[in-house]
Amino acid sequence: MTTFKEIRGTAIQVVSSDPSNPELGQIWYNSSSGTLKGYKTVNAWSSGGNLNTARNSAGGAGTQTSALAFSGSPNGTATTAATESYNGSSWTSVNNMNTARRNIGSAKSGTQTAALGFAGYPIPGTGTSSESWNGTSWTATPSLNTGKQLTGSLGIATAALAFGGYAPGVTAATESWNGSSWTTVNNMNTSRGGLTGAGLQTAGLGFGGTSAPGPVTAATESYNGTSWTSVNSLNTARTYLAGCGTQTAALGFGGFIPPTATGATELWNGTSWTSNPTGLATARSSLGGTGTQTAALAIGSGSPGNATEEWNSIATQTITVS
């Protein structure tokens, strides 16, 4: 039988009180309490600042401490062009988009001063419009070739990807943005809408959604800049979820598993998904999301629809092993 010393290279330390500054993964025996203890990383959601305009189906871009939220629906049917910036604690209303819409796609790896919003469901409209943000205002850019909403999306303001969605039925169509125009590229393997994405235009990930003829899916696909490849599925199939991060370190959270919303949160390591023991504090679907696998934002949705949650995986805690 392998011992802890053979694995770790050191024996378990016996101490009368817990160390004041333990290392990640350290294990010790507290002789005073008669317990075996350890120090581990904790992944958790916590409350952030509330949006000024309550909404669902918003787009997002930037980081946890420098983010942008735009468009969406204040009541599930109407649309808004409202845009807000986040400084890590509170949201500030800034200039509106030119076209109000919900179910928008966004270049989530963009920044608070260089973002892209596209497709979605304007009233009236076909969902082809695209707009770029320069830190002050939105400018209309050339439209997508295929109008759709609830599309998967990823990338930066000058190199984005729109994939899947409803057009009006579920589609596998994919388009890439080069900063000046949209180009139709290779389809996904699984047609679906209500999916999300993470990563960059040449190294992306698409996951979740609703496939034809209608069940929610856990399917995950990776994109190499040319074609899609099916990889390991989510643990929890769902649609209308949010995602962020990179192709090798992504985060998927929230969504809808008929007939209810979920707060389930999963982490992708480049090969497989791992379910986090705890999810969002408020289960919600059709939410916005941005950030990284270690520092993300869940934006809006739920009731009253203005809540923000912050995800951190840098917190640590001492646990009692036995």
For residue 282, how many other CB atoms are within 10 A of its CB?
Answer: 17
pLDDT in tens, 100-114: 999 999 999 999 999
Confidence of residue 30 (pLDDT cuts 50, 70, 90): confident
Q: What is the pLDDT of residue 207?
A: 98
Q: Which burial class, exposed, middle or buried, applies to 144 when counting CB atoms under 10 A from its CB (0-12, 13-18, 19+)? A: buried
**Residue 5: per-residue pLDDT:** 46
pLDDT at position 2, please?
Answer: 56
Count Cβ atoms below 10 Å from residue 138 Cβ, excluding itself: 22
Question: Contact at 8 Å (CB) between 71 and 77?
Answer: no
Least confident of 4-8, 32-36, 43-47, 59-63: 4-8
Q: What is the pLDDT of residues 212-262, one digit of tens each?
A: 778 999 999 999 999 999 999 999 999 999 999 999 999 999 999 999 999
Query: What are 267-322's pLDDT values in tens digits?
Result: 999 999 999 999 999 999 999 999 999 999 999 998 889 999 999 986 555 667 66
pTM assigned to the model: 0.88
The model's pLDDT over 38-55, given as tens digits with 9 standing for 90+, comes to: 776 679 999 999 999 999
Amino acid identity, residue 308?
T
- Cα separation, 18 vs 147, in Å, equals 60
Give the mean pLDDT of 26-43. Answer: 81
Structure confidence at residue 110 (pLDDT): 96
Query: Which CATH number is correct for 44-313, 2.120.10.80, 1.10.10.10, 3.40.50.1950, 3.40.1260.10?
Result: 2.120.10.80
Across the beta sheet with 27-30, the strand order is 13-15, 27-30, 35-47, 308-320, 295-299, 288-291
**pLDDT above 50: residue 4:** no
Cis amide linkage into residue 304, ω under 30° from 0: yes
> What 8-state DSSP symbol labels residue 34?
T
CA angle, corner 83, sides to 306 and 133, nearest 5?
Answer: 145
Residue 186: pLDDT over 50: yes
Kind plus residue range of the DSSP H or E element containing 182: strand 182-185
Residue ranges covered by each domain of the chain = 4-42+315-320, 44-313
Strands lying side by side in the sheet with 130-133: 105-106, 115-118, 130-133, 138-141
Integer CA distances (angstroms), 129 to 42, 119, 305, in order = 41, 6, 25
Pick from 52, 62, 122: nearest CA to 83: 52
What is the C-alpha separation between 129 and 119, in angstroms, rounded? 6
- What is the model's pLDDT at position 136? 98
Percent of all residues in the chain with a pLDDT value above 70, rounded to a whole number: 93
Q: Alpha-carbon distance 276 to 109, whole Å?
A: 23
Please choose, from the candidates 173, 169, 251, the residue with its C-alpha nearest in 3D space to the C-alpha of residue 210: 169
